[in-house]
Amino acid sequence: MPGDKPSVLVLDGPNLGALGRREPGVYGPGSHDDLVRSIEAWAVELGMSVETAQHDDEGGMIGAIWRASGRLDALIVNPGGYSHGSIAIQDAMQGFDGPVIEVHLSQVMAREPERRVLVTARAADALICGAGPAGYRLAMELARDMITKRS
């Protein structure tokens, strides 16, 4: 939408700011800053324009989604623990004007039963989980394809 490059918001939810310090055996050793740097490098490679945000609270995430809707072409979101219970975030994702891709670093379907319920994914056009940080890159490629097909 803005400029001529496909544009995307990559939004991370609660506790993802603590990557690297948080259960590195599950989420990997890299920090959130490392992840953001990779996302920015992938955007250059893929010819995309990217904005990144991380919020620990539900309201912050919902506000970020609505501010991006109609301004950026696609949404890539890892709602963290809210994935398993937030109808409010599901509603915001549903309202986003454009493709929505949900990403999880870990393979949530192979974890505790409560993590196998993905309330937010109901509002996602695609779901990528278990690929670690590379899942964000896959989501960016997919978002670019989805945006190109729409326009």
Tokens standing for 99? 């493709």
32, 55, 104, 136: which one is catalytic?
104
Active site residue 27: yes
Count of C-beta atoms within a 10 Å radius of residue 26: 10
- Please report how close the Cβ of residue 104 comes to ligand DQA at its closest, in angstroms: 4
- Residue 84 catalytic? no
Q: Helices (DSSP H) in the chain: which residue ranges? A: 24-27, 32-46, 58-68, 87-95, 134-150
Lookup: tokens for 28: 């990997």
Residues at the interface with ligand DQA (CB under 6 A) = 15, 78, 80-81, 83, 104-106, 108, 115
| Shortest Cβ 105–ligand DQA spacing (Å) | 4
Minimum CB separation from ligand DQA for residue 106, in Å?
3
Considering beta carbons, is residue 92 or 147 the nearer one to ligand DQA?
Answer: 92
Contacts of 63 (CB under 8 A, 6+ apart): none
Catalytic amino acids?
27, 104
